[in-house]
């Protein structure tokens, strides 16, 4: 057990893909977590399949490394604003943050979001300028941009006097000056020990543990992860669980663990300042307090930003319902969604008037699409509606969420991007020429104005554009926005698609399916070139005759069809359409067909 003054609790906060998980990998390797000859998988902190596939961190994870006599409790947090609920909880558990910034890209919108949360919590920042070896790296300019960002966010004098370290996360090196040679991450470790304070808290005071995360173990069940704010927690010691509403439940935990390397290690006791895992507490949730049974005192509840986007989950009623999923009933769907809210505090689930529908609200399209993809992979089958923004009435005025949108494109695409954003009620904020043939554009745009924009943007910029967005504020309702100008190509009958039928249909628009695919009446099989929906017979077969025509030798030619991802399906559908999701398939359909 480490003494309180030998513990450092820190979080790594950064924008998507600025390298924080890779840097943590390097810290783990150099602190002796792995054997010298062990083959190490990249991104060891990303244990979720979706995280590895998308290269982003979704759920916060804890680990601990020993550096000399010090124990460093490290929390790797999400960099995307849609998972900001994770960040908001983590800042309650740590005393400092490593703010990781790409040496070329500089601070990005999500960097602003998570840094604001850290500064509001009075955390001590260390600025880490990463990917220092990147082509066109500009560390001095990026440092100035970070300082401007701190000033914009009203950082106090202590926070403005932040230390800086330059790293190459993939190579596992750090230095105090750009270009200075280094063999390892020792300068970073030393800076953490010297700059981030030891945790506060009185070991002699009554016990208080704030629950900030819920983990699940297949053998031990639900586990509460949190920081010992005051007192000493002992294994199997009776405690009082204080719920968010003030209800008190006397319970006896069955296990106590601390983090050691990538594992949870059993512990007999833990002092104030340590991050612990407690098992055996029934009905424990994020925001609860584990307290002394003789003097139970609750901690202040963690405030989480409200959701901004909602979708309706439906029990699947498509003609193909029940063919590919293991869990298809409303009871199974509802149970799973409610279970998700226990560990994801940014998620809200409400039952509707109909027993087979659930209104699910989250922080953005990505937040909700990750939930859907996770459920698909677990064997669930369901349908979802088009995402809708959550409106609020503020001082008698109807308001909607506004996003801060940052776009980086080659100079020749600036015009088309500005043209596309105009009808989406976009407000231009800033333009910056980067000098390398790229331009950075900043806008404020209603969240609903971005529905369907990403795929259009990638097409217009030929895949060379980059866009990021995060919540900015609520503003008065901007009026109607046309986010989709084209209709759907809809299957006319049940059957299997044929090359002949598809050849005729592709003249009317772009197809989403190839030949030999089962379809049903009302299923969306493509995008119409016109603004109206169009019924097409893609199951039509070519009738053979004894007559030989001059075109008999001409074979059927089909253009490649567009493969639609889950996010693209959500962006594409209209208000009267649904996305059908199964473990094996993604389909879109009309809610009803006349």
Digit-coded pLDDT (tens) for 312-348: 999 999 999 989 989 999 999 999 999 888 777 778 9
Residue 79 pLDDT: 55
58 with 188, same domain: the answer is: yes
Percentage of residues in the chain having pLDDT higher than 90: 45
In a domain, 575, yes or no: no
Give the mean pLDDT of 175-195: 91
Between these two residues, 104 and 218, which has the higher pLDDT value?
104
**Residues 6 or more apart in contact with residue 184 via CB below 8 angstroms:** 30, 172, 173, 174
Q: At 89, is the secondary structure helix, strand, or coil?
A: helix
Contact 90, 60 (CB under 8 A): yes
Residue 37 pLDDT: 46
215 with 333, same domain: the answer is: no
Show which of 142, 163, 195 is a domain's final residue: 195
Whether pTM exceeds 0.85:
no
H helices of 199-350, where?
330-343
Give the mean pLDDT of 419-429: 90
33 with 92, same domain: the answer is: yes
122 with 169, same domain: the answer is: yes
In a domain, 482, yes or no: no
**Residues 6 or more apart in contact with residue 173 via CB below 8 angstroms:** 167, 182, 183, 184, 185
Give the mean pLDDT of 246-272: 89
Between these two residues, 45 and 173, which has the higher pLDDT value?
173
In a domain, 303, yes or no: no
DSSP H or E stretch at residue 222: strand 221-230
143 with 278, same domain: the answer is: no
Q: What digits encode the pLDDT tens for the residues 536-563?
A: 999 988 766 655 554 544 467 888 898 8
In a domain, 577, yes or no: no
Contact 17, 104 (CB under 8 A): no
Give the mean pLDDT of 147-168: 91
Enclosing domain of residue 128: 4-195
Q: Say yes or no to pLDDT of 426 above 80.
A: yes
30 with 148, same domain: the answer is: yes
Strand ranges, E, within 321-452: 348-351, 357-362, 382-384, 388-389, 392-394, 397-410, 427-433, 438-446
For 124, phi then psi, to 5°, come to: -85, 125
Residue 9 pLDDT: 95
Contact 110, 56 (CB under 8 A): no
Between these two residues, 517 and 468, which has the higher pLDDT value?
517
Residue 311: pLDDT band (50, 70, 90) is very high
In a domain, 584, yes or no: no
In a domain, 425, yes or no: yes
Residue 303 pLDDT: 64
Residue 260: pLDDT band (50, 70, 90) is confident
State the burial class of residue 402 (Cβ atoms within 10 Å of its Cβ: 0-12, 13-18, 19+): buried
Domain count for the chain: 5
Q: Say yes or no to pLDDT of 58 above 70.
A: no
Residue 3: pLDDT band (50, 70, 90) is confident
Strand ranges, E, within 246-381: 248-251, 255-260, 263-266, 269-271, 275-279, 289-291, 309-314, 348-351, 357-362
Residue 46 pLDDT: 47
Give the mean pLDDT of 520-533: 92
Between these two residues, 125 and 544, which has the higher pLDDT value?
125
**CATH code (residue 417):** 3.30.70.240
Residue 471 pLDDT: 82
How many Cβ atoms from other residues are within 10 Å of residue 90's Cβ?
A: 27
11 with 116, same domain: the answer is: yes
Show which of 174, 195, 216 is a domain's final residue: 195
Chain-wide mean pLDDT for the chain? 85
H helices of 31-99, where?
49-54, 84-90
Longest dimension (CA), the chain: 98
Residue 42: pLDDT band (50, 70, 90) is very low
Cα–Cα distance between 403 and 400 in angstroms, integer?
10
Q: What angle do CA 449, 56, 49 make, to 5 degrees?
A: 115
- Residue 494 DSSP label: S
Q: Say yes or no to pLDDT of 360 above 70.
A: yes
63 with 128, same domain: the answer is: yes
Q: What digits encode the pLDDT tens for the residues 441-462?
A: 999 999 988 887 887 888 889 8
428 with 557, same domain: the answer is: no
Residue 266 pLDDT: 93
Q: Say yes or no to pLDDT of 528 above 90.
A: yes
């Amino acid at each position: 057990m480490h003494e309180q003054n030998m513990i450092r609790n820190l979080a790594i906060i950064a924008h998507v893909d600025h390298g924080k998980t890779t840097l943590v990998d390097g810290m783990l390797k150099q602190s002796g977590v792995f054997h010298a000859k062990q083959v190490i998988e990249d991104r060891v902190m990303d244990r979720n399949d979706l995280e590895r596939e998308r290269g982003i961190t979704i759920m916060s994870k804890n680990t601990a490394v020993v550096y000399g006599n010090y124990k460093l409790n490290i929390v790797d947090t999400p960099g995307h604003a849609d998972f900001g609920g994770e960040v908001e909880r983590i800042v309650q558990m740590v005393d400092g943050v490593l703010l990781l910034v790409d040496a070329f890209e500089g601070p990005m919108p999500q960097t602003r979001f998570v840094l604001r949360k850290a500064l509001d919590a009075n955390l001590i920042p260390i600025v880490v300028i990463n990917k220092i070896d990147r082509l066109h790296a500009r560390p001095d300019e990026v440092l100035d941009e970070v300082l401007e960002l701190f000033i914009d966010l009203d950082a106090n004098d202590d926070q403005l006097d932040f230390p800086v370290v330059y790293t190459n996360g993939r190579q596992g090196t750090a230095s105090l000056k750009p270009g200075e040679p280094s063999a390892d991450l020792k300068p970073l470790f030393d800076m953490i020990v010297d700059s981030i304070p030891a945790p506060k808290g009185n070991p002699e005071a009554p016990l208080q543990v704030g629950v900030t995360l819920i983990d699940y173990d297949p053998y031990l069940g639900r586990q509460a992860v949190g920081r010992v704010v005051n007192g000493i927690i002992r294994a199997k010691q009776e405690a009082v669980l204080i719920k968010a509403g003030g209800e008190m439940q006397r319970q006896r935990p069955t296990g106590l663990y601390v983090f050691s390397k990538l594992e949870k290690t059993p512990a007999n006791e833990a002092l104030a300042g340590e991050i612990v895992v407690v098992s055996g507490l029934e009905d424990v949730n994020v925001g609860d307090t584990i307290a002394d049974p003789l003097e139970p005192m609750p901690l202040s509840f963690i405030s989480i930003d409200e959701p901004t986007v909602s979708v309706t989950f439906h029990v699947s009623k498509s003609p193909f319902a029940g063919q590919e999923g293991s869990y298809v009933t409303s009871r199974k769907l509802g149970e799973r969604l409610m279970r998700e809210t226990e560990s994801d505090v940014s998620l809200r689930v409400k039952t509707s008037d109909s027993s087979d529908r659930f209104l699910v609200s989250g922080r953005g399209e990505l937040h909700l699409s990750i939930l859907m993809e996770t459920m698909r992979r677990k064997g669930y089958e369901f349908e979802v509606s088009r995402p809708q923004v959550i409106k609020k009435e503020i001082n008698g005025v109807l308001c909607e969420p506004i996003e801060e949108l940052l776009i980086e494109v080659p100079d020749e695409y600036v015009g088309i991007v500005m043209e596309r954003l105009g009808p989406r009620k976009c407000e231009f904020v800033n333009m910056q020429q980067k000098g390398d043939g790229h331009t950075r554009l900043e806008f404020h745009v209603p969240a609903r104005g971005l529905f369907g924009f990403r795929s259009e943007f990638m097409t217009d910029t030929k895949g060379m554009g980059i866009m990021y967005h995060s919540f900015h504020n609520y503003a008065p309702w901007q009026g109607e926005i046309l986010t989709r100008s084209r209709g759907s190509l809809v299957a006319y009958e049940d059957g299997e698609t044929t090359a002949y039928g598809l050849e005729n249909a592709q003249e009317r628009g772009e197809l989403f399916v190839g030949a030999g695919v089962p379809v049903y009446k009302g299923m969306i099989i493509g995008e119409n070139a016109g603004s109206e929906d169009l019924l097409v017979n893609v199951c039509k077969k070519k009738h053979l005759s004894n007559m030989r025509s001059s075109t008999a030798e001409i074979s059927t030619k089909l253009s490649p069809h567009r493969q639609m991802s889950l996010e693209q399906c959500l962006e594409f559908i209209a208000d009267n359409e649904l996305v059908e999701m199964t473990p094996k398939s993604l389909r879109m359909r009309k809610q009803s067909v006349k």
